[in-house]
Amino acid sequence: MNYVYKTSLPTSVSIYSPNLKQTRWGSDDVAVEVPVALVYNYISHVVMMASPANLEDFAIGFSLTEEIVEARDQIHHVHVTQTKSGITIRLQIADDAFEKLKSKRRNMTGRTGCGLCGIESLKQAIRPIPSVEAPQISHDVITQALETIRAHQHISGLTGATHAAAWCSLKGDIKLAREDVGRHNALDKLIGAMSSTSLDRHNGFILVTSRASYEMVQKTCMAGAGCLIAISAPTSLAIEQARQAGLLLIGFARADKQIIYHDPHQPELLNHVI
């Protein structure tokens, strides 16, 4: 029997007011976070902590951005099972993709002393990043997307605890959005959802309500998108990866200004503000 998870739960809390120097009892909505196991062709591969929403999108997006499959059509079936102890997502993938995954898993066996499982050298820690074609985007378009992103953050509106990732048109309209307690998960969910649509990756950009780590840049480029805009800051490695891929990378996105960390249309400029 499946156990159906909610994305938020009311919790009794005590609320302290420093001005009144008083404490009162109240209720607060908190985001639900559960273990999610990804199983490929009946072999368990990884367990992630995630929000229990849009899990098929998550499994598909993770499989694409982690290069477990090369294309959406290599995933033949996705089945989500929920229990009290967590969620299992079973994916049936193409034989050649599964053989490649098994080879990776054999290389992971018995390795210790490294923060990244199955990695035995620094060179292996950062995967090659595909080149992308960056669009040209105006300040007004970014502002339009920023003004409407909150309307797509239903879990965050209740809990304040989730990140969002959105696909936006070159007019600033949000076409798709996904949420999760993990910023990488939110982006994987978005990419998984995009893989089942006809959205043109050359005519839009990804907006995230988080920082832009190098993994976020990697996943954006794996999805074929040419621009990543983050509400918070990027890391140095994210900027380096963006330059290698030709990705338009913008951070600290606000209505009054945005900081451009890499713009392949203006390669002579380093960080600049619009």
**What percentage of the chain has pLDDT greater than the value 90?**
82
What are the angstrom distances between the C-alpha of 256 and each of 62, 172, 174, 273?
34, 16, 20, 10
Please identify which residue in the block is written with the tokens 């639900």. 32
Which of 92, 125, 158 terminates a domain? The answer is: 125
Q: Please indicate whether residue 114 is annotated as part of the active site.
A: yes
Which of 125, 154, 172 terminates a domain? The answer is: 125
Please give the pLDDT value at position 242.
97
Tens-place pLDDT, residues 80-122: 999 889 999 999 999 999 999 988 775 544 333 344 554 555 5
Binding residues: 252-257
Tens-place pLDDT, residues 132-153: 999 999 999 999 999 999 999 9
Please give the pLDDT value at position 72.
96
Q: Looking at the domain assignment, is residue 65 inside a domain?
A: yes
94 lies in the same domain as 198: no
104 lies in the same domain as 227: no
Q: Are 45 and 202 in contact (CB under 8 A)?
A: no
Please give the pLDDT value at position 26.
92
70 lies in the same domain as 115: yes
Q: Are 32 and 7 in contact (CB under 8 A)?
A: yes
170 lies in the same domain as 247: yes
54 lies in the same domain as 107: yes
Mean pLDDT across the stretch 35-61?
Answer: 96
Q: Which of 10-14, 154-158, 217-221, 266-270 has the lowest mean pLDDT?
A: 266-270
Q: Looking at the domain assignment, is residue 133 inside a domain?
A: no
> Beta partners for 176?
167
Q: Looking at the domain assignment, is residue 246 inside a domain?
A: yes
Strands 75-83 and 43-50: unpaired
107 lies in the same domain as 144: no
Please give the pLDDT value at position 122.
58
Give φ, ψ of 215 to 5 degrees: -65, -35
pTM, 2 dp: 0.90
Give the model's confidence band at 20: pLDDT under 50 very low, under 70 low, under 90 confident, else very high.
Answer: confident
Q: Are 41 and 28 in contact (CB under 8 A)?
A: no
39 lies in the same domain as 109: yes
CATH number of the domain to which 115 belongs = 3.10.20.10
**What percentage of the chain has pLDDT greater than the value 70?**
88
Q: How many CB atoms lie within 10 A of CB 17?
A: 9
215 lies in the same domain as 255: yes
User: And the tokens for 253?
Assistant: 């996105």
Helices of type H across 231-270: 236-245
Which of 103, 125, 147 terminates a domain? The answer is: 125
Q: What is the mean pLDDT of the chain?
A: 90
Residue 106: which domain range?
34-125
Domain count, the chain: 2
